[in-house]
Structure 1
Amino acid sequence: MNALLYILVVVIWGTTWLAIYMQQGVVSVPVSIFWRFAVAAVVMLVVLKSLGRLRRISLQDHLFCVLQGACVFGFNFVCFYHAAAWISSGLESVIFSMAVIFNAINSMIFFRQRPHPNLLPAAALGIAGVVALFWHDLAATQLAPSLLLGIGLSALGTYGFSIGNMISTRHQRRGLETLSTNTYAMFYGALIMAAVALVRGDSFMPEITARYLGSLLYLAIFGSVIAFGAYFTLVGRIGAGPAAYSTLLFPLVALSLSTFYEGYVWHGNAVIGLAMILMGNMVMFSKPGMLRGVLMRKRTA
């Protein structure tokens, strides 16, 4: 069961970055996010109600769902959607793979879980990998501020996603049902985005094109209802840290699609950077003494 959930998350979320890129256009970012999670929340409500699986929760739990909605189904996607205008969807997914490091740090902060012994070397590899990945652009004579903005927004959105993971862990430690809390959080996330759009004076009319509506439905049903349900179920079954390990394979899917659909060009530093990020994530989940043993064997060889 865990393997099936894992595969669903990797395949679906590895492709949603391209769908986010396809949403760029005349519709404002808050409105696009509103429609995505409004559709997802309605689908979830109908399904859970018809199956008798929508659980009531306390006022305090609802408040945490509001916070979860803001972090996972709201402002983090504001960051991702805006970043998609500055960097490729594949590169966004690479930065998102750093969620595994953020989850480890936040689990230590919020739940006093001892950090994995490999956290520091994994983080060092990950950060160095991100620098290497963007080195071709960072070393340009005139560094585009938009590149740094895209990197920063993607990292901020990833951290928001990690905070949402901590709230989901909190829900499940209290014995709350994942699908119900996800539904409430998506509903609140949609309301928050609607409020932002109203303050901005945005039009709520979606773009009536096959490209926009197709990507919207894919993001709402597959990217939200199915993938988020699978992911947060994994969080409850194996923990936030191991569940975030699924982000390890997102870049392989997303960068491959970005190469064909967005014209992403692979420079040598990009290959090295991606390898370092993947290695950092693998180090994070290797056995505590494995890394030291490998290094010792190399020294004595």
Structure 2
Amino acid sequence: MTAFLYIVTVLVWGTSWLAITFQSGPVDSLISIFYRFALASLLLLPFLYLTGRLQKARRADHLWFFLQGCCMFSFNFICFYHSSKYMASGLVSIVFSAAIFYNAINNKLFWGVTPSKSVYGAGVLGISGLTLLFWQELMQTEASHELLLGIGLAALGTFGFSLGNMITVRHKKHDINPLTSTAYGMSYGTAVLLLIIFVTQTPVTWDDRPLYGFSLVYLSVFASIIGFTAYLSLVNRIGANQAAYATVVFPVIALALSSVFEDYTWGVMNSLGLVLVLLGNAVAMNLVKFPKRATVPVKL
């Protein structure tokens, strides 16, 4: 079951970054995010209620659902959508793969779970890999400021996503299943987005392109309902640190799609960078271990 959840998460989220770029157009990104989670919550919450799968929750639980909605289903996606305006969707997904490091740190801060020493070595590999991946873009002086802004927004969104992971760990401790937390979290996230739209007076418009409608349905049903439920189920089953490894695998799919649809080109530098990022995350997950230094007994 764990392997199945991994595959679903990787395939769905690996293709969702390209669908996000299809949302670019006359509709403000804030409105597109609202459409996405409004449709997802309108489909998921009534379905769970009518089928008797929606758990009863306490008032305190709803507070945490609200916080999870802010972290995972509203503010973080505002960052992701805006970052996609400044760099290729595949590169956004690479920054998102840093969730494994955020989770390791936040697990220590919030739950006292100490990350393994290999995480620090993995961090060096990951940062080196990201530098190589962005090397060509960073060397383009005219686009460097926008690229840095895009990286910063993606990193901020990833941090919010990690905080949502920590709330999921809390839900597990209170026997709240991922379907219930996802349904309520998306509903509260949608309400937050609606409030932001009202405060910022963002015009509510629609894009008549079939591609926009198709990508909206895909993002709502597959990337939101199925993708988040599968991922949060992984968090429940194997923990936040292990589940975050899924965010490492799908950038390969996302970058492959970027090379086809967004003219993202591969060279020696960014190819090596991708290898280092994947290797760093694999080390962090203890799939690859650094060789231990041999100790020589000292004779007295």
Q: TM-score range by the shorter chain?
A: over 0.9
- Hey, which bits of structure 1, 4+ residues long, moved more than 4 A? none
Give the structure 2 partner of residue 216 of structure 1: 216
For residues 141 and 243 of structure 2, what CA distance do their matches in structure 1 show?
A: 40
**Higher mean displacement: 147-156 or 173-182:** 173-182
Give the structure 2 partner of residue 129 of structure 1: 129
Check whether the contact 1:44–1:183 (CA below 8 A) recurs between aligned residues: yes
For residues 237 and 144 of structure 2, what CA distance do their matches in structure 1 show?
A: 43
Question: Partner of 1:291: helix, strand, or coil?
Answer: coil
State percent identity of aligned pairs: 43
Give the structure 1 partner of residue 298 of structure 2: none
Aligned AA for 1:193? Answer: L
**Cα offset for 1:144?**
2.6
**Higher mean displacement: 73-82 or 126-135:** 126-135
Give the structure 2 partner of residue 23 of structure 1: 23
For residues 55 and 242 of structure 1, what CA distance do their matches in structure 2 show?
A: 26
For residues 105 and 73 of structure 1, what CA distance do their matches in structure 2 show?
A: 21
Question: Partner of 2:244: helix, strand, or coil?
Answer: helix
- The Cα offsets for residues 3-26 of structure 1, whole Å up to 9 and x where unpaired, read as 111100000000000000110111
198 and 141 in structure 1: CA distance in 2 versus 1, 3 angstrom threshold: closer
Aligned AA for 2:292? Answer: G
**Cα offset for 1:285?**
1.4
Matched, 1:119 2:119: yes
Give the structure 2 partner of residue 98 of structure 1: 98
287 and 200 in structure 1: CA distance in 2 versus 1, 3 angstrom threshold: closer
Give the structure 2 partner of residue 32 of structure 1: 32
Give the structure 2 partner of residue 262 of structure 1: 262
- The Cα offsets for residues 196-254 of structure 1, whole Å up to 9 and x where unpaired, read as 11112123232122111110000000000101001001100010011011112111100
Check whether the contact 1:118–1:283 (CA below 8 A) recurs between aligned residues: yes
Check whether the contact 1:136–1:267 (CA below 8 A) recurs between aligned residues: no
Check whether the contact 1:103–1:165 (CA below 8 A) recurs between aligned residues: yes
Give the structure 2 partner of residue 179 of structure 1: 179
Give the structure 2 partner of residue 147 of structure 1: 147
Say how many residue pairs are matched.
295
**Higher mean displacement: 53-62 or 224-233:** 53-62
For residues 250 and 6 of structure 1, what CA distance do their matches in structure 2 show?
A: 10
Check whether the contact 1:137–1:143 (CA below 8 A) recurs between aligned residues: yes
Aligned AA for 2:138? Answer: L
Give the structure 1 partner of residue 291 of structure 2: 292
**Cα offset for 1:58?**
1.2
**Higher mean displacement: 279-288 or 149-158:** 279-288
For residues 268 and 93 of structure 2, what CA distance do their matches in structure 1 show?
A: 19
For residues 199 and 61 of structure 1, what CA distance do their matches in structure 2 show?
A: 27
For residues 102 and 133 of structure 2, what CA distance do their matches in structure 1 show?
A: 19
For residues 29 and 66 of structure 2, what CA distance do their matches in structure 1 show?
A: 20
Give the structure 2 partner of residue 246 of structure 1: 246
The unaligned stretches of length 5 or more in structure 2 are 296-300
Q: TM-score, normalised by structure 1?
A: 0.94
For residues 183 and 240 of structure 1, what CA distance do their matches in structure 2 show?
A: 20
For residues 178 and 144 of structure 2, what CA distance do their matches in structure 1 show?
A: 42
For residues 246 and 148 of structure 1, what CA distance do their matches in structure 2 show?
A: 25
**Cα offset for 1:291?**
0.8
Question: Partner of 1:57: helix, strand, or coil?
Answer: coil
295 and 164 in structure 1: CA distance in 2 versus 1, 3 angstrom threshold: farther
The unaligned stretches of length 5 or more in structure 1 are 297-301
Matched, 1:110 2:95: no
For residues 98 and 30 of structure 1, what CA distance do their matches in structure 2 show?
A: 24
Give the structure 2 partner of residue 299 of structure 1: none
Give the structure 1 partner of residue 68 of structure 2: 68
For residues 287 and 232 of structure 2, what CA distance do their matches in structure 1 show?
A: 24
